[in-house]
Amino acid sequence: MEQQKLRELLETLHQELGQVGTVDEKTEEVLSSLREDISKLVKDGTKACEEEESMTDRMSDAVGHFEEDHPRLSMLIQHVLDSLARMGL
């Protein structure tokens, strides 16, 4: 059940990332990193997160980065982190 919810959250987050318009260089780096992390999670499931602890660190940093200018994006990333935490990751 939690795996399915995580997949749905990741798909929603991926769509939201695609809607972010013109951004500065730092934001582009954060977006690029998130896209890679989402691709790994979708492809490899939670195994990808278990193997790479820094993935959750990057997502946590992204929450703060997007909080002011993209609150919905920040909220979605936090939901993914919450879902991963409930799964023990």
Per residue in 6-56, pLDDT (tens digit) is 888 888 888 888 888 777 888 888 888 888 888 887 777 766 666 666 888
pTM: 0.79
Specify the pLDDT at position 78: 92
E strand residue ranges, 1-89: none
How far is 80 from 26, CA to CA, in rounded Å? 22
For the chain, domain boundaries? 28-89
Do residues 60 and 34 touch, judged by C-beta distance below 8 A? no
Specify the pLDDT at position 52: 64
Specify the pLDDT at position 15: 85
How far is 68 from 81, CA to CA, in rounded Å? 18
CA neighbor of 60 nearest in space, from 40, 22, 89 = 89
Instruction: Report which of residues 78 and 54 the model is more confident about.
Output: 78
